[in-house]
Amino acid sequence: MHEACGDGRRLSIGLAVSPTWLRGDAWRAEDSRVEELFDLAPFADLAAAAEAAALDFLFAPDSGFLEPATLDRAPGFSTHDSHTLVTALAARTSRIGVVPTVQTLIDSPYAAARRLMSLHRLSDGRAGWNAVTALGGAENHGIEAPTGEERYSRARAFVDAVRELWGSYPADALILDRAAGRFADRGRVRRVNRDDGRYRIAGPLTVAAHPSGEPPLFQAGASPQGVALAGACADAVFAVTGSIDDAASQRAALRDAAARAGRAADAVRFLPGLVVTLADTRAEARRIAGAQRTGTGPGHWSVTGTPEDAVEEIAMWARASAIDGFIALAGGSWRSIELFLGRVVPALVERGLFRRGYEGRTLREHLGLRWPSDG
Ligand SMILES: Cc1cc2nc3c(=O)[nH]c(=O)nc-3n(C[C@H](O)[C@H](O)[C@H](O)COP(=O)(O)O)c2cc1C
């Protein structure tokens, strides 16, 4: 059976590499691999399995702070630095995209632009970035995080500065003419001399841009200001939604925001988180989900059941044009992840909802984005 999404496009599908499968009491399960929480191995296994299923990208949320009181009974925000993690994963993979998180209120645009372009070059065009304001962590940098409107004004200035820096050392500035002894066209490498009242940056960047275009921008932040930022400059949004109606209205608001910013309505993909807690029987899936429930966190869209249940649910949301794809948050167990990648994704391919294998080389191509983008 073939059924396209509402608008005929294929779904974009990513997998979160944050250990959400350890939430609540789930880390206590026999096969949780919690001892490896800070090792590369479980993440490398996830990345290999996601690439074998030809997913578009690995998505790494991040936290810039840890509250000791939350560690008594669960891992809380224990987490790797997302850039370092996905750089290691990019070296272990060759096709799948890698998307670390940048906290715009506490990071430096120059440092972030440089890290991201290094990742983009080292992965040969597979980097994206998830720009969030920040859940917290300003205290770890000796700064006061701004509040109110200033949060997103600052975020917008951050994104603009990063993009300007990426343009400061364009790929085609490199001449590399050995015979003539010409390395680069210095007229094409420029200082940015930015002073927008928030950031003072001289530039240029030390890393030449990747010829395939800049890393696609993901945004996560649900306030009207967050949606406006996404409409103006994001390629995809990671969102929290608990119902198909809410998803459809968030997606519509996002499309409106893009149109208001003078872009095509479908320039930004709406990709909610989807907690997949799967097992061979519904009863077993419910048992696993029960163990997880003591964990707090946003109320993401979730499917608890068999792989067939997940396929039906995703197909229904796609048919209703409530989503452009989703970011799978593995729940419960390694078996659940195996079932998602090994059974759900292939079934979505059979239904024409996801592409069969990789068609391109870069994350931009996986997501079907043009370059230069229409933003
Ligand atoms: C779906 C989603 C994912 C988020 N992921 C992160 C994250 O990985 N790291 C982080 O510091 N903040 C994250 N945030 C929080 C945002 O940085 C921000 O603090 C919060 O969403 C408040 O902004 P808002 O009012 O625009 O939603 C996330 C928010 C949402 C909605």
pLDDT in tens, 43-58: 999 999 999 999 999 9
Burial 82-110 (b: 16+ CB within 10 A, else e): bbebbbebbeebebbbbbbbbbbbbbebb
For residues 351-368, give the mean pLDDT.
97
Asked whether the beta carbons of 253 and 219 are under 8 A apart, the reply is no
Look at residue 296 in the predicted model and tell me its pLDDT: 45
Ligand 1 near 240 CB (within 6 A): yes
Question: Average pLDDT for residues 11-31, to the nearest whole number?
Answer: 87
Partners of residue 102 on adjacent β-strands: 131
Nearest CA to ligand 1 atom 2: 220
Contacts of 143 (CB under 8 A, 6+ apart): 106
CA-nearest of 360, 326, 121, 356 to 236 is 326
Of 2.40.33.20, 3.30.565.10, 3.20.20.30, 3.30.930.10, which CATH number belongs to 12-366?
3.20.20.30
List, for residues 189-212, the tens digit of each pLDDT value.
999 999 999 999 999 999 999 999
Average pLDDT value for residue range 323-338: 90
Give every CB contact of residue 39 below 8 A, 6+ residues apart in sequence.
none
Alpha carbon of 135 to ligand 1 centroid (Å)? 6
**d(CA 47, ligand 1 centre) in Å:** 24
DSSP string, 109-157: HHHHHHHHHHHHHHTTS-B-EEEE--SS-GGGTT-PPP-THHHHHHHHH
Tokens of 64: 């810039």
Q: How far is CA 319 from CA 86, 235, 247, 250, 372, in A?
A: 32, 21, 13, 16, 30
CA of 76 to the centre of ligand 1 (A): 16
Q: Is the CB of 239 under 6 A from ligand 1?
A: yes
Instruction: Tell whether ligand 1 has an atom less than 6 A from the beta carbon of residue 4.
Output: no
- Which residue is associated with the tokens 């299923």? 53
Q: Write out the two tokens for 235.
A: 């390629």
pLDDT digits (tens, 9 = 90+) for 107-134: 999 999 999 999 999 999 999 999 999 9
Closest CA to 173 of 126, 127, 209: 209
Residue to mutate (ligand 1; options 107, 133, 271; most atoms within 8 A of CB): 133
Give me ligand 1 centre to Cα 134, in Å: 6
E strands present in 249-311:
269-278, 301-305
State residue 81 phi and psi, 5-degree precision.
Answer: -60, 125
Task: Over range 287-315, report the average pLDDT.
Answer: 85
Bond preceding residue 372 cis, omega within 30 of 0: yes
Does residue 262 contact residue 230 with C-beta atoms inside 8 Å? no
The answer, yes or no, to whether any atom of ligand 1 lies below 6 A from the CB of 134, is yes
Side-chain-side CA neighbours of 331 within 13 Å: the count stands at: 31
Domain boundaries, the chain: 12-366
**Which of 166-170, 178-182, 278-282, 298-302 has the least mean pLDDT?**
298-302
What is the pLDDT averaged over residues 318-325?
97
Q: Is 240 exposed, middle or buried (0-12, 13-18, 19+ CB in 10 A)?
A: middle
- The response to whether residue 61 sits with its C-beta less than 6 Å from ligand 1 reads yes
Q: Which of 25-29, 165-169, 366-370 ranks highest by mean pLDDT?
A: 165-169
Q: Are 238 and 329 in contact (CB under 8 A)?
A: no
Mean pLDDT of 135-144: 95
**Protein residue closest via CA to atom 1 of ligand 1:** 239
Confidence at residue 293, expressed as pLDDT on a 0 to 100 scale = 66
Helices and strands, counts by H and E, the chain: 11, 14
Q: In this predicted structure, what is the pLDDT of residue 32?
A: 87
- Residue 364: CB atoms within 10 A of its CB come to 24
Residue 62: Cβ-neighbour burial (10 angstroms; 0-12, 13-18, 19+): buried
Ligand 1 atom closest to Cα of 130?
Answer: 8
Q: Where are the alpha helices (DSSP H) in 7-108?
A: 41-52, 82-92
Of residues 270, 243, 278, 253, the one with CA closest to residue 326: 270
3-class DSSP state for residue 272? strand
Give residue 354 CA to ligand 1 midpoint distance, Å. Answer: 27
Q: For residue 138, give both structure tokens.
A: 């300003």
Cβ of residue 122 lying under 6 Å from some atom of ligand 1: no
Average pLDDT over residues 230-256: 97
Q: Which atom of ligand 1 is nearest to the CA of 152?
A: 26
Residue with CA closest to ligand 1 atom 23: 221
Helix, strand or coil, per DSSP, at residue 40: coil
Residue 213 vs residues 157, 187, 190: alpha-carbon distances, Å: 20, 20, 18
CA distances from 28 to 25, 203, 290, 293 (A): 6, 49, 13, 13
Residue 308 predicted with pLDDT over 90: yes
Residue whose CA is closest, atom 17 of ligand 1?
Answer: 134
* 132 within ligand 1 shell (Cβ under 6 A): yes
Query: Which atom of ligand 1 is the closest one to the Cα of 240?
Result: 1
Mean pLDDT computed over 335-347? 96
Global pTM value: 0.96
CA distance 50 to 229: 30
> Which of the 8 DSSP states describes residue 341?
I
What mean pLDDT comes out for the span 324-344? Answer: 92
